[in-house]
Amino acid sequence: MSIETDINQKEFKTSFQKAYINLMFTNNWMLGKTKTWFKQHGITHQQYNVLRILRGAHPKCMNPGSIKEVMIDKSPDLTRLIDRLIEKGFVQRETCGSNRRKVDVIITDIGLAKLRELDPHQDTIIDTFKELTENEASQLSDLLDKLRGSK
């Protein structure tokens, strides 16, 4: 299906406008595909992102500033987000050994188990990309990097 069909728009002012609208539409489409299973598991996509970041650092902990730097969605209130993850038992705060005024965050065994439970769902979303060849997926990623000025 084309973006023209999906949003019932016959033409765009420029190919740049079409690309922008298509990117925004596709982002919302992808979030919609994940929203259901996040909700079923009592988690948000931002919480999932933080858990994945902490799993990558495991068994080490991370300070909230370092977590925020690599988050996909940098807009949420990270303190509240971490509080909610603590309430669920997915993470815990630890006082920094070198500076007692600083706090680090570490994923718990419960948090790791939750991610293992969610991993098959992520695999299903990644299967969506099987519509592309390996080369096309790589090219898409490179183009998105270029758009953000990363290359």
Question: What percent of the chain is modeled with pLDDT above 70?
Answer: 95
* pLDDT greater than 60 at residue 151: no
Helix, strand, or coil (residue 115): helix
- Residue 142 pLDDT greater than 80, yes or no: yes
Mind listing the pLDDT tens digit for each residue in 100-111?
678 899 999 999
Classify residue 69 by its DSSP letter.
H
- Domains of the chain and CATH, by start: 44-147 (1.10.10.10)
| CA–CA distance, 81 with 76 (Å, rounded to integer) | 7
The predicted model scores a pTM of 0.83
Average pLDDT, stretch 1-14?
88
Across 36-62, average pLDDT: 92
Encoded tokens for 84? 């909610």
Check residue 94 and give its pLDDT. Answer: 84
pLDDT of residue 150: 60
**To which H or E segment does residue 113 belong?**
helix 109-127
Whether 110 contacts 69, CB under 8 Å: no
Q: Give the per-residue pLDDT at 88.
A: 97
Whole-number Cα distances in Å, 125 to 30, 120, 121, 130: 8, 9, 7, 10
CB-based contacts of 97: which residues, under 8 Å, 6+ apart? none
Question: To the nearest whole number, what is the mean pLDDT of the chain?
Answer: 89
Residue length of the chain? 151
pLDDT, tens only, 70-101: 998 877 789 999 999 999 999 999 876 666 67
